[in-house]
Amino acid sequence: MEWFIFDYLLNTGILGIATLITFGINFLFAIGLIFLERRSAQSVWAWLFVLFFLPIIGFIIYIFFGRKIYNQQIFTVNEDDKVGLEHLVDDQLQELRDNSISFSNRVMDKHRKIIHMLLYNNQSFLTINNSIRTFTDGNEKFDHLLEDIRNARDHIHFQYYIFKLDGIGQRLYEALLEKQKEGVSVRILYDDMGSRALSLRNFRKLREAGGLVEAFFPSKLPLINPRINNRNHRKIVVIDGSIGYVGGFNVGDEYIGLNKKFGYWRDTHLRLEGNAVKSLQLRFMLDWNSHSKRNNMVREDRYFPEMDYLGDTPVQIASSGPDEKWEQIKYGYLKMIYSAKKSIHIQTPYFIPDQSFLEALRIAMLSGIEVHLMIPNKPDHPFVYWGTYSNAGALLDMGAQVHIYEKGFLHQKTIMIDDEVLSVGTTNIDVRSFLLNFEVNAFIYDEKEAIQYRRIFEEDIKDCSLLTKEKYAARSKWIRIKESIANLISPIL
């Protein structure tokens, strides 16, 4: 047998040997996909398609885009803090189970199962004494953020997926630099791929003044990043441990409507005061410590100050990522959909859900629940857009109201049920956000906040066209082809 293989290799030549090795590598990757990694069937088939129809390029693509990091310990908590957090979560779970928890409104009581799931599944402890301000315009959001930065007294923790040092980015950077010079501790964490135009050299003045800057999953070599597919998509700012920002806006001039291609940028961002800020602070601390080599954060009272009564809005901050066993935020979305009794309102730039999400919406519509979906009219990623359009069109036959936002680019990630429960954050409705990226969302249990969101939704409808079954059926053959391609590769978009 050994002689047969040796003789075959001698007679085959270099090209044949290379082909044999390539198919062997593809076969090993295929075995790993099917038997060793936690993936959906759709994702497995999509990757098998790539591996076997692009035999050389396929496994290179897999190296950069396909490897999973499940079970890798990226985020660690100090043992004392971990014990304290586990006690808090366990206590709240027990209070839910024995009905001893004090609910501040009827919505919390009605949707206690969502609260329980996020506690058990994500250690998202419930906070009640919160006040919320919602921003739907980038200029307004950044004006308030700049004001809060200028009023900071102790520390500013600043984390964005995209941070561009253009007009608005430069204004923010100069404000942060000024506060650092005043003695306020500034930490900046940016994603190395989302902010690929940045490097640590861009922050020289801030670092010389004592500020700290880190890049999340930085590239080891120029233009080569083995973690290109697992990005930190979170947008978090915490100021003095008492003010927090979370939502969809990144930092760049396009987010204040100064990009001609996208025009007006429609997004949603929250400004929080109350104990929910402690959850954002903990999330930032975990993300920071995962990449800081010498300047790890430890729990200090100044990071988690005691707060007076600030409001009565219940909030859970949930996070998810490819290092986790569960798809926490997706589960939160699904639980909301299954809990709906009257209506579901969704705004998302990308609507490429997996089968479980589509089935949940179908079941809701078959049960007589109104479903309103709003998506943008223009793509920032072509295949993603046509996958979004195709999935939206598939809901029309069941009676979904699909609104196409025409004023500019729609980028917010929001879902609301029954004018009662609302989720706002960084998580798109696609496999990338559910499985590959690191995300964060606020789940809000408050009728007043939910009704405010519905009114915002209704205002946005004025800038939308309605996608009807007739319009969708009349789309061109070229659009149908693009939809088919997008659907084929949707599990890896």
List the Cα angle 316/317/321 in 5-degree steps: 135
Identified catalytic residue from 235, 269, 345, 482: 235
Identified catalytic residue from 179, 335, 411, 482: 411
Residue 413 bears catalytic tag: yes
| Nearest Cα to Cα of residue 75 among 300, 282, 305, 331 | 282
CA atoms of 16 and 20, how far apart (whole Å): 6
Query: Which residue type does 365 have?
Result: M
What DSSP letter does each residue of 344-360 carry, written as one string? EEEE-S-EE--HHHHHH
CA atoms of 373 and 467, how far apart (whole Å): 10
Residue 157 bears catalytic tag: no
Identified catalytic residue from 191, 192, 240, 430: 240
CA atoms of 106 and 108, how far apart (whole Å): 5
Task: Identify whether the C-beta of residue 195 lies closer than 8 Å to the C-beta of residue 232.
Answer: no
CA atoms of 115 and 332, how far apart (whole Å): 9
Strand partners, 439: 320
Residue 260, SS3?
coil
Strand partners, 429: 351
Identified catalytic residue from 137, 418, 419, 430: 418
Residue 87 bears catalytic tag: no
Identified catalytic residue from 413, 419, 446, 460: 413
Residue 98 bears catalytic tag: no
Terminal Cα-to-Cα distance of the chain (whole angstroms):
44
Q: Helices 328-339 and 355-366, interaxial angle, to 10°? A: 10
Identified catalytic residue from 233, 269, 278, 330: 233
Residue 411 bears catalytic tag: yes
Active site residues: 233, 235, 240, 411, 413, 418
